[in-house]
Amino acid sequence: MSSVAPTSAAPGGKATSAPIMGRDHEPTIFEYSSTGRRAFSFRTTGLPEWTAEELVPPEYLRESPVALAEVCERDLVAHVTRLTHRQYSVDLGAYPLGSCTMKYNPKLCDDAAALPGLAAVHPATPTGHAQGWLELLWSLGDTLCRITGMHSCTLQPPAGAAGELTGLLLMRAWHDSRGERRTKIIIPDSAHGTNPASVTLGGYQTVTVPSDERGLVDLDALRARLDTDVAGIMLTNPNTLGLFEQDIAEIAAAVHDVGGLLYYDGANLNAILGVTRPGDMGFDIVHMNLHKTFAVPHGGGGPGAGPVAVSERLAPFLPGPVPARLADGHFEWHTPPRSIGRVHAWHGNALALARAWSYILANGGDGLRRVAEGAVLNANWLRHRLRGTYDLPYDRPNMHEFVASTTALKKEKGLRALDVGKRLLEEGFHAPTVYFPLIVDEALMIEPTETETPETLAALADALIAIAADEAGVGAAAPRTTPVGRVDEARAARSLLPTWDAVVGHG
């Protein structure tokens, strides 16, 4: 049986001490507005002070300025600061949101990406004056290839979903180049929703392959779906249940046998850093979520970065331009000969890429392996602690995350996964991902990440165990200690108020 608590140290990831400053709502910035109040100031330029009428032809000139909030800087700062006090974040406490890899974001990386020599550079700067950026991007691409076991890389895709679509367009270009028109992409039933959405935008049809009783791709069912219409398969490994697809070599051989390609969804790359590589498993195309694996902070939902690495045979098709190192050690932009074209207006989310590079430098090859070890150790330890309290539909050694369920607790006293998440907020932790993957009833998808201490894990486990022991009905009333109580989502959709003007106009 598990020990009660690893040490007597306080859990660093438990946030119940965060102050709650009252029960009022925060007015919108527009409600602070008072005509004529201002915060702006501009550089002294010494330029002639021509009027708008002298500069803009009358048919284009607007009659009155667009109304924005008119506030002083002090009120703006107070308003936004109060908004931050109504927001949970990794910096505040643990964030065991499955499939999102909400690890701690080192402050070092913030400072690195804020260097003016990176942040203040125009994207069209001639390469001779941007050698530092080109070297950084080239080095990052080269390193991501080493980590994934691939040949070449594009850094343009600004997010994971953009990486997926890029990968599918690479598949299309590859098959086109061989004069083949394939129509289908195979996706497991445990896949993230972006996969089938990307397949549609890539011009393919989704064919779903079921998971077997192990929670892994059903190899026989896969073989039954494979034919020469199959352009490829999209897999996450470890999959969204946190389980390693042990048959991956057989899967790769079967897909390659019919001329299909293998796409690796890098959502869960954190689990295998330095342990195994998608390239060695037989994957042809890999996207990475740098905002998960390489600690680029999630920014409340972006910006991320979703580079795509490919095997040698697909390298000529990569989006361009890509940074290239010349024989003399200088760097230049280079567009691959059969490039599918741009997938971003410039070079991708460059500052996010710089953050990832600083994280990789700090960790090194040895540190990245330790990341995977810590993530997998934490997730397995937590699964053991929850055994006997929550259902564990796939109670097998997992990788960086695992899926629990409240099926029995719901039957016993109506406790749903949603309620567990809301109760956990009261206990000082962010909720896990709930109701995903779709193949598990009342799913709680838990990813503690490697950056939480054993003390935090123990406190999180204690909280989850306490919630399971709640009397019936307690969960449905949660959360009671948060800035707002449970939010009426149905009303938001029924009477849509997407702007302050809609609210005011509504009466």
Residues 216-235 that bind other proteins (CB under 8 A): none
493 binds other proteins (CB under 8 A): yes
Interface with other proteins by CB under 8 A: which range of 224-232, 258-266, 342-350, 465-473?
342-350
211 binds other proteins (CB under 8 A): no
| Minimum distance, C-beta of residue 226 to other proteins, in the bound complex (Å) | 19
Helix (H) or strand (E) holding 84: helix 73-84
Which of 10, 20, 224, 249 touches other proteins by CB under 8 A? 249
Binding mask 353-392 for other proteins (x = CB under 8 A): -x--xx-xxxxxxxxxxxx-xx-xxx-xx--x--------
203 binds other proteins (CB under 8 A): yes
| Minimum distance, C-beta of residue 409 to other proteins, in the bound complex (Å) | 20
| Minimum distance, C-beta of residue 17 to other proteins, in the bound complex (Å) | 15
Q: Which residues of 95-109 are buried (b: 16+ CB within 10 A; e: fewer)?
A: bbbbbbbbbbbbeeb
Helix (H) or strand (E) holding 439: none
Helix (H) or strand (E) holding 309: strand 308-310
Cβ-based nearer residue to other proteins, 43 or 178: 43
Residue whose tokens read 């390489």: 294
327 binds other proteins (CB under 8 A): no
Query: Packing angle between helix 454-468 and helix 350-386, nearest 10 degrees?
Result: 60
Site for other proteins in 290-309 (CB under 8 A): 291, 295, 297-304
Which of 14, 175, 287, 422 touches other proteins by CB under 8 A? 422
Interface with other proteins by CB under 8 A: which range of 60-68, 225-233, 402-410, 459-467?
60-68
Interface with other proteins by CB under 8 A: which range of 217-225, 257-265, 440-448, 492-500?
492-500
Contacts of 386 by beta carbon, 8 Å cutoff, 6+ apart: 392, 404, 461, 464, 465
Which of 10, 110, 177, 441 touches other proteins by CB under 8 A? 110
Helix (H) or strand (E) holding 249: helix 248-257
Contacts of 489 by beta carbon, 8 Å cutoff, 6+ apart: none
CB 313 within 8 A of CB 292: no
Q: How many CA atoms lie within 13 A of 314 on its CB side?
A: 31
| Minimum distance, C-beta of residue 443 to other proteins, in the bound complex (Å) | 13
120 binds other proteins (CB under 8 A): yes
| Minimum distance, C-beta of residue 488 to other proteins, in the bound complex (Å) | 5
Contacts of 324 by beta carbon, 8 Å cutoff, 6+ apart: 138, 331, 332, 333, 334
Residue whose tokens read 């997730």: 379
CB 295 within 8 A of CB 104: yes
| Minimum distance, C-beta of residue 113 to other proteins, in the bound complex (Å) | 8
| Minimum distance, C-beta of residue 136 to other proteins, in the bound complex (Å) | 5
Which of 251, 262, 356, 431 touches other proteins by CB under 8 A? 431
Residue whose tokens read 């002639």: 48
Tally of CB atoms within 10 A around 71: 20
399 binds other proteins (CB under 8 A): yes
Which of 10, 20, 119, 224 touches other proteins by CB under 8 A? 119
Site for other proteins in 172-191 (CB under 8 A): 172-173
